[in-house]
Amino acid sequence: MKISKELKTGVITIAAIGLLIAGVNFLKGKSFLGGDDEYYAYFSNSGQLAPASAVTLNGVVIGSVQTVEYVAGNDSLHKVLVAFNVTKDNIKFSKGTVVEIGSLDLFSKGIMLHMSSDISNGYHKSGDTLAGVVAQDMMGQIQSYADPLSKKVSGALTSIDKMVNGVSAFWDTTASSELEGSLKEIKIAIKRFGNAAEEIEVMVRDEKIKLSHILSNVETITFNLKKSNESVKKIVGNVEQLTDDLVTSDFKGVITNAKNTLASINTILETANTGEGTLGKLLGDETLYNELVNTNKELQNLVNDIQVHPERYIHFSVLGAKTKGVPLTTSEEKKLRKLLDSIP
């Protein structure tokens, strides 16, 4: 079969167009046949990111940056929109994945994907917009470390400068004169310390003899105590024997006697309560009480009658006259008068 020149030309043209498209896709970082997933992310600045930069996941290149565009927002928040694709198959990003612009090495910038471990919210689809952050570049990190260090160095230099100025001021003429005066005072103080040391040495030498006598007296007292040791032992032995005698005394017998005495008293009280014996009759018989009351009453009446009519009981003789009454002797009259005087 003979192929015409026109067919050959058409086939070559189509192949050339296909190769051109594939080459363009390759140069753009896309697959040869296209159809890659594409995602977007907004950033506060580009971080010097350029199109065709690598997109990595756990250090593995899975795509490339397609476009980096400046977007003016209506709320005066101007941002940078970055579009990137994923050329690897079967890669899904869980919702919450963060897109970070940072340094991939010392010379190139790229995108690093930090996938969220929480898959409960599902996965992003092609065309979704992910959260974006810009990492601090190497120069920024160096500057963040260098700024505090430079401040500390500056402060240290200032302190050193102040110290140098202080030392310079110290060694001027006035300071030298003050230093010389201080050295003289130190010298005088050292001399006084030397004199004091000599006086202490003399005092120790003088008191050494007294200390020797004191130690000798202490030794004598110790020797006397040692000689008196036997007497002390005897005294302690006597005290110990006296204590043993007190401990071994017949306390049991004394307690037994006291117990028997209390038992006897209880027996007597029980007998009196039952009305037995003389004491019981005195406590329980009201007849004796009534007789004592009557006797006391009659005795009181008698005393009252004697006070009113003493002539009935006492014989008085006035000028030979005789009074009727009971004749009493002299001793009986004295006793009766003493009784009458004692009654209130």
Strand bridging mode 79-86 / 98-103: unpaired
Place of tokens 């996941």: 57
| pTM listed for this prediction | 0.37
The token duo for 46 is 């580009």
Determine the Cα–Cα distance for residues 344 and 340; give it in Å rounded to an integer.
8
Tens place of pLDDT for every residue, the chain, 344 residues? 566 777 767 777 877 776 666 565 555 555 545 567 899 999 988 888 989 899 999 989 999 898 999 888 666 567 899 999 998 888 889 999 999 998 888 778 899 999 888 888 899 998 899 999 998 765 555 666 666 777 777 777 787 877 777 666 655 555 566 667 777 888 888 888 788 888 887 777 777 777 777 877 878 887 777 777 777 777 777 767 766 666 565 666 777 888 888 888 888 877 777 767 676 666 666 777 777 778 888 778 777 777 777 666 665 554 444 555 556 667 767 776 776 666 65
The token duo for 296 is 């006391």
The token duo for 61 is 């290149």
Question: Radius of gyration over alpha carbons of the chain, in Å?
Answer: 69
- Find the length of the chain: 344
The token duo for 312 is 């009935």
Show me where the domains of the chain are located.
Answer: 36-135, 286-342
